[in-house]
Structure formats: structure tokens, C-alpha cells
């Protein structure tokens, strides 16, 4: 029987945070950087525990996305991963159910995320929409296109009017900006 915990980063002790980092390092095959970790904390987490083992995680952090002349408050999904050997059992769906609940009740105008290829069916199956227009970042030097990210950004509209063919610009951060 799996237990689903929803908490802010401040509600996780060092052992739980360590378990989350270990899961992400393992699930992303060592391709999970300190900058990725920095992006994953500071918001709401969903942890799925099974028999004392952390089997799934995801988090939601607040970002600003510029679109149509507005700086929209976005709930941005980070660090979604399920332990190998525990996949295709609905754990990622349980994580997304909980994160989307926070997203819809948390005052955000939209949800957004950058999807790994293997996770696209998970998100599209839940109603997340691929952003079709150009993506960019508000860098310290000004707005800069992020063509390498075009096609991998997905959004979940909450109450913002979105033109999916328009430009979507994320706020600046170290590491991967989307
Ligand atoms: C992507 C990932 C999170 C999916 O976790 P999961 O627990 O297996 O997902 P679920 O069991 O909840 O699957 C929900 C649905 O997503 C889709 N899906 C999930 N994994 C899939 C896969 N490998 N291929 C095709 N569809 C898949 C299916 O529609 C699935 O429903 P179904 O099993 O009824 O067909 C997991 O494979 C993972 O941790 N991968 C490595 C890290 C990663 O890429 N994270 C995503 C970052 S954006």
C-alpha cells in the first residue's frame, strides 16, 4: 500500500530530502545536476512511499511566465520521477493528481513543465498541452530564444487566456531555464 505525502520543502527533514535526491539521481541516470535540484526545492512536493521506500516524487514551484503582455504566475512542475522497477503502476499519475490539485487551488494562472521524451504520454494523457509557439527566456541581457526547448514545453491552462502559437518566455535561473 502506497502512502502519498504532500508537503512544502520546509516540511521535509534531511533524511527525506536525501531520499528525494537519491531517487532523482537514480531515475535520471546521474544526469540530475545541482542546478536541477535547486529548481526542484522551494515549493510543494509529492512523495509516494511504499513499504518505507520512496518510489515516486514530483514538485511544484512558482515561476513567472511572460505571455501576451502579462507576467503570469505559473506552477512549474519539477523532479517527476518513479523508481525503476516501480513504473507503469500509476505512481507518476498519483504524483500528478496531487500536484495538479495544488496547481488548481494555489492561485496559479497556469501550469507548465519541460517534458522528457519518455514522459510525454503521461502529460498529454492528463490534458497537458504542447506549447506550439516559440519559447524564450528573460535573461539578464534581455529576452533570448530557447529554440532547443521548442516542442518540449507543456502547459495546463487554469484561468489564463493562452495562445499556444504565441511566444512563451520564462524567468531567468541558473542551469536549464525550462
Ligand atoms: C516518466 C515516468 C515518471 C512515468 O512514471 P510511471 O509511474 O511509470 O507512470 P504511470 O504508471 O503513472 O503511467 C501513467 C501513464 O503515462 C504513460 N506512460 C508512462 N510511462 C510510459 C512509457 N514508458 N511509455 C509510454 N507511456 C508511458 C501511459 O499512458 C501511462 O498509463 P498506462 O500505464 O495506463 O498506459 C517514469 O518512467 C520515470 O521516472 N522516468 C525517468 C525520469 C523521467 O523521465 N521523468 C520525467 C521528467 S519530465
Report the DSSP beta bridge partners of residue 54.
Answer: 49
Tell me the average pLDDT across 21-35. Answer: 97
CA 124 – ligand 1 centroid, Å: 11
| For residue 152, pLDDT beyond 80 | yes
Nearest CA to ligand 1 atom 9: 92
Quick one: DSSP state of residue 172? P
Cα distance between residue 82 and residue 68, in whole Å: 35
Domain 2-170 in this protein, CATH class: alpha beta
CA 92 – ligand 1 centroid, Å: 6
pLDDT band at 138 (very low <50, low <70, confident <90, very high): very high
Q: Which three cell numbers stand for residue 92?
A: 507518476
* Ligand 1, residues at Cβ distance < 6 Å: 27-28, 80-82, 87-93, 115-116, 118-119, 121-122, 125
Domain range list for the chain: 2-170
pLDDT at position 25, please? Answer: 98
CA 88 – ligand 1 centroid, Å: 6
Please indicate, yes or no, whether the overall pTM of this predicted structure exceeds 0.85. Answer: yes
Cα distance between residue 85 and residue 87, in whole Å: 6
Question: Ligand 1, residues 85, 118, 130: which to mutate, most atoms within 8 A of Cβ?
Answer: 118
Number of other CB atoms surrounding residue 170 within 10 Å: 22
pLDDT band at 1 (very low <50, low <70, confident <90, very high): confident
pLDDT at position 91, please? Answer: 98
Number of other CB atoms surrounding residue 136 within 10 Å: 21
CA 127 – ligand 1 centroid, Å: 15
pLDDT one-digit tens code per residue, 44-99: 999 999 999 999 999 999 999 999 999 999 999 999 999 999 999 999 999 999 99
CA 69 – ligand 1 centroid, Å: 35
Atom of ligand 1 nearest to the CA of 91: 7
Amino acid at each position: 500500500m502506497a502512502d502519498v505525502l504532500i508537503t512544502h520543502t520546509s516540511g521535509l527533514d534531511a533524511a527525506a530530502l536525501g531520499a528525494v535526491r537519491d531517487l532523482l539521481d537514480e531515475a535520471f541516470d546521474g544526469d540530475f545536476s545541482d542546478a536541477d535540484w535547486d529548481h526542484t526545492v522551494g515549493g510543494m512536493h509529492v512523495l509516494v512511499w511504499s513499504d518505507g521506500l520512496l518510489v515516486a516524487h514530483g514538485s511544484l514551484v512558482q515561476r513567472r511566465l511572460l505571455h501576451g503582455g502579462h507576467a503570469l504566475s505559473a506552477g512549474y512542475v519539477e523532479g517527476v520521477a518513479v523508481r525503476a522497477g516501480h513504473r507503469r503502476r500509476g505512481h507518476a499519475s498519483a504524483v500528478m493528481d496531487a500536484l495538479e490539485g495544488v496547481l488548481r487551488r494555489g492561485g496559479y494562472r497556469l501550469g507548465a513543465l519541460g517534458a522528457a521524451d519518455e514522459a510525454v504520454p503521461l502529460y498529454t494523457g492528463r490534458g497537458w498541452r504542447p506549447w506550439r509557439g516559440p519559447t524564450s527566456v528573460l535573461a539578464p541581457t534581455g529576452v533570448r530564444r530557447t529554440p532547443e526547448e521548442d516542442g518540449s514545453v507543456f502547459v495546463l491552462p487554469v484561468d489564463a487566456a493562452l495562445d499556444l502559437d504565441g511566444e512563451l518566455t520564462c524567468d531567468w535561473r541558473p542551469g536549464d531555464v525550462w
